Structure 1
Amino acid sequence: MYIPPYFRLNDEEMIYDFIEKYSFATVFSQHKGEPYATHLPLTVNKDENALYGHFARQNEQWKDVENQQVLVVFQGPHCYISPSWYETMRAVPTWNYVSIHLYGKMEIIEDRNIILESLNDLVSKYERPETPYILNEVNPGFFEGMMKGIVPFKINITNIEAKTKLSQNHPVERQKLIIKQLESISEGDTKKIATLMKNNLKNLNKNC
Protein backbone atom coordinates (compact mmCIF):
# COMPACT_ATOMS: atom_id res chain seq x y z
CA MET A 1 0.00 0.00 0.00
CA TYR A 2 1.28 3.47 -0.85
CA ILE A 3 1.76 5.34 2.44
CA PRO A 4 3.41 8.78 2.57
CA PRO A 5 5.28 9.22 5.88
CA TYR A 6 2.72 11.65 7.36
CA PHE A 7 -0.12 9.13 6.82
CA ARG A 8 1.65 6.08 8.24
CA LEU A 9 0.20 4.68 11.47
CA ASN A 10 2.77 2.95 13.68
CA ASP A 11 0.84 2.82 16.95
CA GLU A 12 0.27 -0.92 17.45
CA GLU A 13 -2.54 -0.42 19.97
CA MET A 14 -4.46 1.81 17.57
CA ILE A 15 -3.90 -0.63 14.71
CA TYR A 16 -5.37 -3.54 16.65
CA ASP A 17 -8.23 -1.36 17.88
CA PHE A 18 -9.15 -0.65 14.24
CA ILE A 19 -8.89 -4.35 13.39
CA GLU A 20 -11.18 -5.24 16.29
CA LYS A 21 -13.71 -2.54 15.46
CA TYR A 22 -13.75 -2.92 11.66
CA SER A 23 -13.31 -6.68 11.59
CA PHE A 24 -15.40 -7.44 8.49
CA ALA A 25 -12.42 -7.76 6.15
CA THR A 26 -11.54 -8.69 2.58
CA VAL A 27 -9.20 -11.65 2.05
CA PHE A 28 -7.24 -11.58 -1.22
CA SER A 29 -5.33 -14.49 -2.73
CA GLN A 30 -4.48 -16.06 -6.06
CA HIS A 31 -7.06 -18.61 -7.19
CA LYS A 32 -6.47 -20.51 -10.41
CA GLY A 33 -3.90 -17.92 -11.40
CA GLU A 34 -6.21 -14.93 -10.93
CA PRO A 35 -6.75 -12.42 -8.08
CA TYR A 36 -9.65 -13.55 -5.88
CA ALA A 37 -11.33 -11.98 -2.85
CA THR A 38 -13.79 -13.00 -0.17
CA HIS A 39 -15.47 -10.72 2.40
CA LEU A 40 -15.38 -12.26 5.87
CA PRO A 41 -15.68 -11.45 9.58
CA LEU A 42 -12.37 -12.26 11.27
CA THR A 43 -11.05 -12.42 14.81
CA VAL A 44 -7.51 -11.50 15.79
CA ASN A 45 -5.33 -13.25 18.37
CA LYS A 46 -2.58 -10.81 19.35
CA ASP A 47 -0.69 -13.40 21.42
CA GLU A 48 -0.42 -15.67 18.37
CA ASN A 49 -0.07 -12.79 15.91
CA ALA A 50 -2.78 -14.44 13.85
CA LEU A 51 -6.24 -14.03 12.34
CA TYR A 52 -8.98 -16.65 12.42
CA GLY A 53 -11.99 -17.14 10.16
CA HIS A 54 -13.67 -19.58 7.83
CA PHE A 55 -14.74 -19.92 4.21
CA ALA A 56 -17.97 -21.45 3.01
CA ARG A 57 -16.90 -24.86 1.68
CA GLN A 58 -18.52 -24.08 -1.67
CA ASN A 59 -16.23 -21.06 -2.02
CA GLU A 60 -13.30 -22.63 -3.86
CA GLN A 61 -10.81 -20.00 -2.74
CA TRP A 62 -9.79 -22.32 0.09
CA LYS A 63 -8.69 -25.09 -2.27
CA ASP A 64 -5.43 -23.45 -3.33
CA VAL A 65 -4.93 -20.76 -0.67
CA GLU A 66 -2.97 -22.77 1.90
CA ASN A 67 0.61 -21.55 2.34
CA GLN A 68 -0.02 -18.59 0.04
CA GLN A 69 1.01 -15.11 1.11
CA VAL A 70 -2.44 -13.53 1.38
CA LEU A 71 -3.53 -9.93 1.80
CA VAL A 72 -6.26 -8.99 4.28
CA VAL A 73 -7.75 -5.49 4.09
CA PHE A 74 -9.61 -3.88 6.99
CA GLN A 75 -11.42 -0.72 5.88
CA GLY A 76 -12.03 1.82 8.61
CA PRO A 77 -14.13 5.01 8.46
CA HIS A 78 -13.86 7.17 5.34
CA CYS A 79 -15.46 10.24 3.81
CA TYR A 80 -15.21 12.87 1.08
CA ILE A 81 -13.34 16.13 1.74
CA SER A 82 -14.46 19.17 -0.28
CA PRO A 83 -11.97 21.94 -1.22
CA SER A 84 -14.85 24.38 -0.67
CA TRP A 85 -14.18 23.96 3.05
CA TYR A 86 -10.66 25.42 2.78
CA GLU A 87 -9.55 29.02 3.09
CA THR A 88 -8.61 28.92 -0.60
CA MET A 89 -10.10 27.50 -3.78
CA ARG A 90 -6.68 26.56 -5.09
CA ALA A 91 -7.17 22.96 -4.04
CA VAL A 92 -8.75 19.72 -5.20
CA PRO A 93 -11.25 17.26 -3.65
CA THR A 94 -9.86 14.34 -1.70
CA TRP A 95 -10.89 11.44 0.55
CA ASN A 96 -9.93 10.84 4.17
CA TYR A 97 -9.85 7.27 5.43
CA VAL A 98 -8.29 4.57 7.59
CA SER A 99 -7.08 1.32 6.05
CA ILE A 100 -5.12 -1.59 7.51
CA HIS A 101 -3.38 -4.14 5.28
CA LEU A 102 -2.21 -7.41 6.84
CA TYR A 103 -0.05 -9.94 5.03
CA GLY A 104 0.35 -13.52 6.15
CA LYS A 105 0.54 -17.20 5.39
CA MET A 106 -2.75 -19.07 5.50
CA GLU A 107 -3.21 -22.54 6.92
CA ILE A 108 -6.36 -24.64 6.88
CA ILE A 109 -7.38 -25.74 10.39
CA GLU A 110 -8.40 -29.34 10.96
CA ASP A 111 -8.01 -29.58 14.75
CA ARG A 112 -11.60 -29.72 16.05
CA ASN A 113 -10.76 -28.03 19.36
CA ILE A 114 -9.16 -25.05 17.60
CA ILE A 115 -12.12 -24.85 15.21
CA LEU A 116 -14.63 -24.80 18.06
CA GLU A 117 -12.63 -22.17 19.93
CA SER A 118 -12.44 -20.02 16.78
CA LEU A 119 -16.19 -20.28 16.14
CA ASN A 120 -17.02 -19.48 19.77
CA ASP A 121 -14.74 -16.43 19.65
CA LEU A 122 -16.49 -15.23 16.50
CA VAL A 123 -20.00 -15.65 17.95
CA SER A 124 -18.99 -14.07 21.27
CA LYS A 125 -17.53 -11.07 19.45
CA TYR A 126 -20.67 -10.21 17.51
CA GLU A 127 -23.53 -11.37 19.75
CA ARG A 128 -24.75 -8.95 22.39
CA PRO A 129 -24.09 -9.87 26.05
CA GLU A 130 -27.81 -10.48 26.67
CA THR A 131 -28.21 -12.80 23.65
CA PRO A 132 -30.04 -16.10 24.14
CA TYR A 133 -27.92 -17.64 21.36
CA ILE A 134 -25.14 -19.88 22.67
CA LEU A 135 -23.18 -21.88 20.12
CA ASN A 136 -22.56 -24.78 22.51
CA GLU A 137 -26.31 -25.20 22.95
CA VAL A 138 -27.11 -25.49 19.23
CA ASN A 139 -28.74 -28.78 18.23
CA PRO A 140 -25.81 -31.24 17.79
CA GLY A 141 -27.12 -32.64 14.50
CA PHE A 142 -27.61 -29.17 13.05
CA PHE A 143 -24.21 -28.06 14.33
CA GLU A 144 -22.40 -31.00 12.73
CA GLY A 145 -24.11 -30.24 9.44
CA MET A 146 -22.96 -26.63 9.71
CA MET A 147 -19.40 -27.75 10.44
CA LYS A 148 -19.32 -29.75 7.21
CA GLY A 149 -20.22 -26.61 5.27
CA ILE A 150 -17.24 -24.49 6.36
CA VAL A 151 -13.46 -24.50 5.99
CA PRO A 152 -11.81 -22.84 9.03
CA PHE A 153 -8.43 -21.15 8.61
CA LYS A 154 -5.69 -19.31 10.44
CA ILE A 155 -3.57 -16.53 8.93
CA ASN A 156 -0.14 -16.17 10.53
CA ILE A 157 0.61 -12.45 10.20
CA THR A 158 3.97 -11.58 8.63
CA ASN A 159 3.55 -7.84 8.04
CA ILE A 160 1.14 -4.99 8.83
CA GLU A 161 0.73 -1.72 6.96
CA ALA A 162 -1.56 0.93 8.42
CA LYS A 163 -2.65 4.21 6.89
CA THR A 164 -4.63 7.07 8.43
CA LYS A 165 -5.18 9.70 5.75
CA LEU A 166 -6.59 12.54 7.84
CA SER A 167 -5.37 15.71 6.10
CA GLN A 168 -2.10 15.67 8.06
CA ASN A 169 -0.38 17.13 4.98
CA HIS A 170 -2.45 20.33 5.29
CA PRO A 171 -1.83 23.28 7.63
CA VAL A 172 -3.34 22.96 11.12
CA GLU A 173 -5.79 25.82 10.56
CA ARG A 174 -7.10 24.11 7.43
CA GLN A 175 -7.49 20.85 9.32
CA LYS A 176 -9.62 22.71 11.86
CA LEU A 177 -11.83 24.04 9.05
CA ILE A 178 -12.29 20.51 7.74
CA ILE A 179 -13.19 19.22 11.20
CA LYS A 180 -15.79 21.96 11.63
CA GLN A 181 -17.46 21.02 8.34
CA LEU A 182 -17.37 17.30 9.06
CA GLU A 183 -18.98 17.79 12.46
CA SER A 184 -21.89 19.59 10.79
CA ILE A 185 -22.65 16.59 8.53
CA SER A 186 -24.57 13.62 9.88
CA GLU A 187 -24.10 11.28 6.92
CA GLY A 188 -21.75 8.30 6.76
CA ASP A 189 -18.49 8.37 8.68
CA THR A 190 -17.99 12.14 8.74
CA LYS A 191 -18.15 12.50 12.53
CA LYS A 192 -15.83 9.52 13.03
CA ILE A 193 -13.25 11.08 10.71
CA ALA A 194 -13.67 14.42 12.51
CA THR A 195 -12.95 12.74 15.85
CA LEU A 196 -9.86 11.02 14.48
CA MET A 197 -8.61 14.32 13.05
CA LYS A 198 -9.15 16.09 16.39
CA ASN A 199 -7.24 13.35 18.20
CA ASN A 200 -4.39 13.76 15.73
CA LEU A 201 -4.21 17.48 16.43
CA LYS A 202 -4.24 16.86 20.19
CA ASN A 203 -1.34 14.46 19.86
CA LEU A 204 0.48 16.97 17.67
CA ASN A 205 0.10 19.64 20.34
CA LYS A 206 1.37 17.23 23.03
CA ASN A 207 4.50 16.53 21.01
CA CYS A 208 5.25 20.18 20.27
Structure 2
Amino acid sequence: MRQNPSFAMTDVAELRRLIDANPWMTLVSATDEGLVASHYAVLLDEGRDDLTIVGHVGRPDDLIHGLGERELLVVVQGPHGYISPGWYGDAANVPTWNFVSAHLSGIPELLSPDENLRVLERLVARFEGGMPQPRLLWQPPNDPEYVTKLERGTIGFRLTPTRVVAKRKLSQNRPDEVVETIIAELGAGASPYADPRLAGEMQRDLDARKAAR
Protein backbone atom coordinates (compact mmCIF):
# COMPACT_ATOMS: atom_id res chain seq x y z
CA MET A 1 0.00 0.00 0.00
CA ARG A 2 1.50 3.30 -1.09
CA GLN A 3 1.82 5.65 1.84
CA ASN A 4 0.99 9.33 1.89
CA PRO A 5 2.36 11.20 4.92
CA SER A 6 -0.86 13.20 5.17
CA PHE A 7 -2.86 9.99 5.60
CA ALA A 8 -0.38 7.93 7.65
CA MET A 9 -1.83 6.14 10.68
CA THR A 10 0.85 5.52 13.30
CA ASP A 11 -0.79 5.68 16.73
CA VAL A 12 -0.65 2.18 18.26
CA ALA A 13 -3.84 2.65 20.27
CA GLU A 14 -5.73 3.65 17.12
CA LEU A 15 -4.28 0.72 15.20
CA ARG A 16 -5.30 -1.67 17.98
CA ARG A 17 -8.81 -0.23 17.84
CA LEU A 18 -8.88 -0.77 14.06
CA ILE A 19 -7.72 -4.38 14.42
CA ASP A 20 -10.16 -5.14 17.23
CA ALA A 21 -13.12 -3.64 15.38
CA ASN A 22 -12.35 -5.38 12.06
CA PRO A 23 -11.26 -8.95 12.84
CA TRP A 24 -12.07 -10.48 9.42
CA MET A 25 -8.75 -10.16 7.60
CA THR A 26 -6.94 -11.21 4.44
CA LEU A 27 -3.75 -13.28 4.76
CA VAL A 28 -1.35 -13.08 1.81
CA SER A 29 1.82 -15.06 1.13
CA ALA A 30 4.25 -15.12 -1.79
CA THR A 31 4.92 -18.78 -2.58
CA ASP A 32 6.87 -20.67 -5.22
CA GLU A 33 3.55 -21.18 -7.02
CA GLY A 34 2.63 -17.48 -6.84
CA LEU A 35 0.60 -15.31 -4.50
CA VAL A 36 -1.84 -17.02 -2.13
CA ALA A 37 -4.60 -15.27 -0.18
CA SER A 38 -6.90 -16.62 2.53
CA HIS A 39 -9.51 -15.02 4.77
CA TYR A 40 -9.80 -15.64 8.50
CA ALA A 41 -10.86 -13.96 11.72
CA VAL A 42 -7.87 -12.66 13.71
CA LEU A 43 -7.63 -11.20 17.22
CA LEU A 44 -5.17 -9.08 19.13
CA ASP A 45 -2.95 -11.12 21.44
CA GLU A 46 -4.53 -10.54 24.84
CA GLY A 47 -1.16 -10.88 26.57
CA ARG A 48 0.44 -8.00 24.66
CA ASP A 49 -0.15 -4.26 24.33
CA ASP A 50 1.44 -3.92 20.87
CA LEU A 51 0.14 -5.00 17.44
CA THR A 52 0.72 -8.72 17.92
CA ILE A 53 -2.17 -10.76 16.56
CA VAL A 54 -3.24 -14.39 16.91
CA GLY A 55 -5.38 -16.53 14.67
CA HIS A 56 -5.58 -19.84 12.88
CA VAL A 57 -5.86 -21.34 9.43
CA GLY A 58 -7.55 -24.56 8.45
CA ARG A 59 -5.38 -27.37 7.18
CA PRO A 60 -3.93 -27.49 4.52
CA ASP A 61 -3.81 -23.67 4.27
CA ASP A 62 -0.80 -23.75 6.60
CA LEU A 63 1.16 -25.70 3.98
CA ILE A 64 -0.14 -23.63 1.08
CA HIS A 65 1.03 -20.43 2.81
CA GLY A 66 4.25 -21.96 4.17
CA LEU A 67 3.03 -20.69 7.53
CA GLY A 68 5.90 -20.03 9.90
CA GLU A 69 8.50 -20.27 7.15
CA ARG A 70 7.97 -17.11 5.10
CA GLU A 71 6.64 -13.61 5.45
CA LEU A 72 2.91 -13.27 5.90
CA LEU A 73 1.01 -10.09 5.01
CA VAL A 74 -2.17 -9.53 6.99
CA VAL A 75 -4.51 -6.91 5.55
CA VAL A 76 -6.85 -5.21 8.00
CA GLN A 77 -9.73 -3.46 6.23
CA GLY A 78 -11.70 -0.90 8.19
CA PRO A 79 -14.70 1.14 7.04
CA HIS A 80 -14.52 2.36 3.46
CA GLY A 81 -16.81 3.88 0.88
CA TYR A 82 -17.48 5.99 -2.17
CA ILE A 83 -17.28 9.78 -1.89
CA SER A 84 -19.32 11.68 -4.49
CA PRO A 85 -17.86 14.84 -6.08
CA GLY A 86 -21.29 16.39 -5.51
CA TRP A 87 -20.50 16.51 -1.80
CA TYR A 88 -17.62 18.94 -2.40
CA GLY A 89 -19.76 21.80 -3.67
CA ASP A 90 -19.69 23.49 -7.07
CA ALA A 91 -15.92 23.32 -7.67
CA ALA A 92 -14.51 20.90 -10.28
CA ASN A 93 -13.86 17.55 -8.58
CA VAL A 94 -13.80 13.83 -9.24
CA PRO A 95 -15.06 10.92 -7.12
CA THR A 96 -12.80 9.22 -4.61
CA TRP A 97 -12.89 6.42 -2.06
CA ASN A 98 -12.28 6.97 1.65
CA PHE A 99 -10.92 4.12 3.74
CA VAL A 100 -8.99 2.97 6.77
CA SER A 101 -6.61 0.04 6.33
CA ALA A 102 -3.48 -1.49 7.82
CA HIS A 103 -0.92 -3.97 6.48
CA LEU A 104 0.90 -6.08 9.08
CA SER A 105 3.87 -8.10 7.85
CA GLY A 106 6.21 -10.60 9.47
CA ILE A 107 7.03 -14.28 9.85
CA PRO A 108 4.43 -15.83 12.15
CA GLU A 109 5.16 -18.16 15.04
CA LEU A 110 3.17 -21.41 15.05
CA LEU A 111 1.19 -22.09 18.22
CA SER A 112 1.16 -25.27 20.23
CA PRO A 113 -2.12 -27.24 20.28
CA ASP A 114 -2.95 -25.86 23.74
CA GLU A 115 -2.26 -22.29 22.64
CA ASN A 116 -4.27 -22.80 19.48
CA LEU A 117 -7.18 -24.16 21.50
CA ARG A 118 -7.18 -21.07 23.71
CA VAL A 119 -7.27 -18.86 20.60
CA LEU A 120 -10.19 -20.88 19.21
CA GLU A 121 -12.00 -20.48 22.54
CA ARG A 122 -11.43 -16.72 22.42
CA LEU A 123 -12.68 -16.49 18.84
CA VAL A 124 -15.91 -18.29 19.62
CA ALA A 125 -16.43 -16.27 22.81
CA ARG A 126 -15.78 -13.00 20.97
CA PHE A 127 -18.42 -13.55 18.32
CA GLU A 128 -20.94 -15.53 20.35
CA GLY A 129 -20.80 -12.98 23.16
CA GLY A 130 -23.39 -10.78 21.50
CA MET A 131 -25.87 -13.58 20.83
CA PRO A 132 -29.02 -13.90 22.99
CA GLN A 133 -28.00 -17.44 23.94
CA PRO A 134 -24.24 -17.82 23.31
CA ARG A 135 -22.94 -21.23 22.23
CA LEU A 136 -19.36 -21.38 23.48
CA LEU A 137 -16.76 -23.83 22.23
CA TRP A 138 -17.06 -26.35 25.07
CA GLN A 139 -20.80 -26.01 25.48
CA PRO A 140 -23.03 -29.02 24.66
CA PRO A 141 -23.76 -30.49 22.22
CA ASN A 142 -20.00 -30.05 21.61
CA ASP A 143 -18.00 -32.57 23.61
CA PRO A 144 -14.23 -32.85 24.29
CA GLU A 145 -13.75 -35.33 21.43
CA TYR A 146 -15.39 -32.93 18.97
CA VAL A 147 -13.39 -29.93 20.21
CA THR A 148 -10.11 -31.86 20.06
CA LYS A 149 -10.86 -32.97 16.49
CA LEU A 150 -11.68 -29.37 15.59
CA GLU A 151 -8.36 -28.11 16.97
CA ARG A 152 -6.40 -30.77 15.09
CA GLY A 153 -7.89 -29.51 11.84
CA THR A 154 -6.38 -26.08 12.35
CA ILE A 155 -2.97 -24.48 12.85
CA GLY A 156 -2.73 -21.48 15.17
CA PHE A 157 -0.27 -18.64 14.72
CA ARG A 158 1.00 -15.53 16.44
CA LEU A 159 2.32 -12.64 14.37
CA THR A 160 4.32 -9.77 15.83
CA PRO A 161 4.63 -7.52 12.78
CA THR A 162 8.09 -6.36 11.80
CA ARG A 163 6.58 -3.93 9.29
CA VAL A 164 3.37 -1.92 9.57
CA VAL A 165 1.88 0.32 6.90
CA ALA A 166 -1.40 1.90 7.91
CA LYS A 167 -3.45 4.52 6.14
CA ARG A 168 -6.43 6.62 7.13
CA LYS A 169 -7.68 8.45 4.02
CA LEU A 170 -10.66 10.43 5.27
CA SER A 171 -10.71 13.68 3.29
CA GLN A 172 -8.05 15.28 5.50
CA ASN A 173 -7.03 17.37 2.48
CA ARG A 174 -10.41 19.11 2.42
CA PRO A 175 -11.65 22.09 4.47
CA ASP A 176 -13.46 21.23 7.69
CA GLU A 177 -16.81 22.37 6.31
CA VAL A 178 -16.47 20.01 3.34
CA VAL A 179 -15.52 17.12 5.63
CA GLU A 180 -18.56 17.88 7.78
CA THR A 181 -20.79 17.79 4.68
CA ILE A 182 -19.36 14.41 3.69
CA ILE A 183 -19.89 13.10 7.22
CA ALA A 184 -23.51 14.21 7.10
CA GLU A 185 -24.07 12.55 3.72
CA LEU A 186 -22.48 9.30 4.88
CA GLY A 187 -24.19 9.32 8.25
CA ALA A 188 -27.75 10.09 7.34
CA GLY A 189 -27.83 10.98 3.67
CA ALA A 190 -30.27 9.61 1.12
CA SER A 191 -27.62 8.24 -1.26
CA PRO A 192 -26.98 4.49 -1.63
CA TYR A 193 -23.48 5.12 -0.27
CA ALA A 194 -24.51 6.15 3.24
CA ASP A 195 -22.33 4.36 5.79
CA PRO A 196 -22.51 5.35 9.47
CA ARG A 197 -19.30 3.45 10.27
CA LEU A 198 -17.28 5.45 7.76
CA ALA A 199 -18.96 8.65 8.95
CA GLY A 200 -17.92 7.75 12.50
CA GLU A 201 -14.30 7.25 11.47
CA MET A 202 -14.29 10.60 9.68
CA GLN A 203 -15.81 12.37 12.68
CA ARG A 204 -13.27 10.77 15.00
CA ASP A 205 -10.41 11.90 12.77
CA LEU A 206 -11.80 15.41 12.33
CA ASP A 207 -12.26 15.84 16.08
CA ALA A 208 -8.68 14.68 16.71
CA ARG A 209 -7.27 17.10 14.12
CA LYS A 210 -9.25 19.99 15.54
CA ALA A 211 -8.05 19.19 19.06
CA ALA A 212 -4.42 19.13 17.88
CA ARG A 213 -4.56 22.62 16.34
The residue number in structure 1 matching 2:185 is 181
The residue number in structure 1 matching 2:27 is 27
Q: 1:29 to 1:189 in 2, by over 3 A?
A: farther
Instruction: Give per-residue Cα distances to partners, 1:29-82, cap 9 Å, x unaligned.
Output: 023331100000011113475221111113364562323111100110111001
Q: 2:77 aligns with which of 64, 75, 79?
A: 75
TM-score, normalised with respect to structure 2:
0.87
The residue number in structure 2 matching 1:6 is 6
Q: Which letter maps to 2:58?
A: A
Question: Within 2, Cα distance between the matches of 1:125 and 1:87?
Answer: 43
Q: 2:171 aligned with 1:170, yes or no?
A: no
Q: Which letter maps to 1:30?
A: A
More strand by share: 1
Q: 2:122 aligned with 1:121, yes or no?
A: yes
Q: 1:159 aligns with which of 129, 142, 163?
A: 163
Percent of aligned pairs with the same residue? Answer: 30
Deviation at 1:203, TM superposition (A): 2.0
TM-score, normalised with respect to structure 1:
0.88
Q: 1:48 to 1:16 in 2, by over 3 A?
A: closer
Q: Which letter maps to 2:145?
A: G
The residue number in structure 2 matching 1:40 is 40
Deviation at 1:83, TM superposition (A): 0.6
Instruction: Give per-residue Cα distances to partners, 1:135-191, cap 9 Å, x unaligned.
Output: 234312222222232122222221222111100011222212222222233756622
Q: 1:37 to 1:79 in 2, by over 3 A?
A: same
The residue number in structure 2 matching 1:195 is 200
Question: Within 1, Cα distance between the matches of 2:79 and 2:157?
Answer: 27
Q: 1:181 to 1:134 in 2, by over 3 A?
A: closer
Question: Within 2, Cα distance between the matches of 1:189 and 1:67?
Answer: 42
Deviation at 1:123, TM superposition (A): 1.4
Q: Is the 8 A contact 2:77 2:100 kept in 1?
A: yes
Question: Within 1, Cα distance between the matches of 2:95 and 2:51?
Answer: 38
Q: 1:132 to 1:22 in 2, by over 3 A?
A: closer
State the aligned residue count. Answer: 207
Q: Is the 8 A contact 2:12 2:50 kept in 1?
A: no
Question: Within 1, Cα distance between the matches of 2:15 and 2:145?
Answer: 40
Question: Pairwise CA RMSD of aligned residues?
Answer: 2.1
- In the alignment, structure 2 segments of 5+ residues that lack a partner are none
Secondary structure (helix, strand or coil) at the match of 2:138 reads helix
Q: Which letter maps to 2:2?
A: Y
Secondary structure (helix, strand or coil) at the match of 1:15 reads helix
Q: Is the 8 A contact 2:27 2:39 kept in 1?
A: yes
Secondary structure (helix, strand or coil) at the match of 2:179 reads helix
Q: 2:112 aligned with 1:107, yes or no?
A: no
Q: 1:189 to 1:119 in 2, by over 3 A?
A: farther
Q: 1:184 to 1:65 in 2, by over 3 A?
A: same
